[in-house]
Amino acid sequence: MSNDISVEDRVKEIVTKYIKADDGSTPELTRETELQTVNLESLDLIEIIFEVEDEFDIDIEQDEKTAELKTLGDVLDWLTTNIEDQTA
């Protein structure tokens, strides 16, 4: 991973690969973007978790918090916390 990109930016890049816009366009993503509005499903989230684990060489345990993730900001915060906890 390049040192000039933040953890949040890298996680956002990974998540963006899984976005499925209905009209084929790439929607503008913000922390407030609701996952269901960009067709990001639970299976996609699992794939994202696997990719983040590989990228940062960590293990992320899925728990009840995973089911509560509703926005891109929720996902970013949850993944970033997991990354920082394991790389500190």
pLDDT digits (tens, 9 = 90+) for 9-47: 888 888 888 887 667 677 777 889 888 888 777 888 889
Residue 64 belongs to a domain with what CATH number? 1.10.1200.10
d(CA 22, CA 19): 10
Within 1-88, strands assigned E span none
pLDDT digits (tens, 9 = 90+) for 43-64: 888 898 899 889 888 888 877 7
The dihedral sign for the CA sequence 1, 80, 28, 38: positive
Q: Is the pLDDT of residue 2 over 80?
A: no
User: Considering the domain boundaries, does residue 33 fall inside one?
Assistant: yes
User: Considering the domain boundaries, does residue 1 fall inside one?
Assistant: no
Q: Which of 87, 23, 76, 86 is nearest to 48 (CA)?
A: 76
User: Considering the domain boundaries, does residue 51 fall inside one?
Assistant: yes
User: Considering the domain boundaries, does residue 77 fall inside one?
Assistant: yes
User: Considering the domain boundaries, does residue 13 fall inside one?
Assistant: yes
Domain count, the chain: 1
User: Considering the domain boundaries, does residue 2 fall inside one?
Assistant: no
Q: Structural domain of residue 68, as residue ranges?
A: 7-87
What is the pLDDT, as a whole number, of residue 3? 54
